[in-house]
Structure 1
Amino acid sequence: MLFPLPSPNSITKPPIIGITTSCKNETGHYSLFSNYIDAVRRAGGVPVLLTPGEMHQARILDFVDGLLFSGGGDIDPAEYEGSSHPSIYRVNAERDAFELGLANLALKTSIPMLGICRGLEIFMVVSGGQLVPHIPDEFGNTVIHRADQSHCAKHPVQLVPRTRLATLLHRETEINVVSWHHQAARSAPPGWRVAAQAPDGVIEALEHQHHPWAIAVQWHPELAPEDSGQQRIFKAFVQAASQPQVVALPQPASN
Structure 2
Amino acid sequence: MLPLIAVAGRIGARGKVSRIEVSFAGRRYLDAVIRAGGEPVTLAPRALSDEDAAQILGRFDGLLLMGGSDVDPAMYGQEPHPRTYGVDRRNDEFEAALCRAAARIGLPTLAICRGMQVANVAFGGSLHQHLADVEVPFQVAHGPHGFPSPLEGVEHPIEIAPGSLLTKALNGYDVPPAISYHHQAVDRLGSGFTATAWAADAHVEAMERGDGWFVCLQWHPEDTAHNDPAQQRIYDAFVEQARTERD
Do the two structures share a fold, i.e. TM-score over 0.5? yes
8 A Cα contact 1:161 1:172, kept in partner: no
Q: Using the alignment, how far apart are the partners of 1:135 and 1:111 within structure 2?
A: 31
Match of 2:128 in 1: 132
Corresponding residue to 2:62 among 63, 66, 75 = 66
Displacement after TM superposition at 1:201 (Å): 0.8
Aligned length: 233
Corresponding residue to 1:75 among 60, 71, 92 = 71
The answer to whether 1:143 aligns with 2:140 is yes
**TM-score scaled by length of structure 1:** 0.86
Letter in 1 for 2:198: Q
Identify unmatched segments of 5+ residues in structure 1: 1-12, 247-255
Match of 1:16 in 2: 4
Change (3 A) 1:159 1:137: same
Quick one: percent identity of the two aligned structures?
36
Residues 138-192 of structure 1, C-alpha deviations (whole Å, 9 max, x = no match): 0467211011212211111111122121122135974312111111111333311
Letter in 1 for 2:127: L
Match of 2:38 in 1: 45
Aligned partner of residue 108 in structure 1, secondary structure: helix
**TM-score scaled by length of structure 2:** 0.88
Q: Using the alignment, how far apart are the partners of 2:135 and 2:183 within structure 1?
A: 11
Aligned partner of residue 231 in structure 1, secondary structure: helix
* Equivalences for residues 95-110 of structure 1 within 5 A: 95-110=91-106
Match of 2:114 in 1: 118
8 A Cα contact 1:161 1:173, kept in partner: no
The answer to whether 1:229 aligns with 2:235 is no
Aligned partner of residue 187 in structure 1, secondary structure: coil
* Equivalences for residues 156-235 of structure 1 within 5 A: 156-170=157-171, 174-209=175-210, 211-225=211-225, 226-235=227-236
Q: Using the alignment, how far apart are the partners of 1:224 and 1:218 within structure 2?
A: 15
Aligned partner of residue 12 in structure 2, secondary structure: coil
4+ aligned runs moved over 2 Å, structure 1: 54-59, 139-142, 170-175, 187-190, 243-246
Q: Using the alignment, how far apart are the partners of 1:112 and 1:49 within structure 2?
A: 16
Aligned partner of residue 231 in structure 2, secondary structure: helix
8 A Cα contact 1:23 1:52, kept in partner: yes
Displacement after TM superposition at 1:244 (Å): 3.7
RMSD (Å) for aligned C-alpha atoms: 1.9
Letter in 2 for 1:68: L
Identify unmatched segments of 5+ residues in structure 2: 15-19
Residues 103-149 of structure 1, C-alpha deviations (whole Å, 9 max, x = no match): 11111111100000011011101111110111111046721101121
Residues 203-253 of structure 1, C-alpha deviations (whole Å, 9 max, x = no match): 0000111x220000000001012111111110110011113459xxxxxxx
Q: Which moved more, 1:51-60 or 1:66-75?
A: 51-60
Aligned partner of residue 63 in structure 1, secondary structure: coil
Q: Using the alignment, how far apart are the partners of 1:216 and 1:171 within structure 2?
A: 20
Match of 1:7 in 2: none
8 A Cα contact 1:124 1:130, kept in partner: yes
Largest Rg, 1 or 2: 1
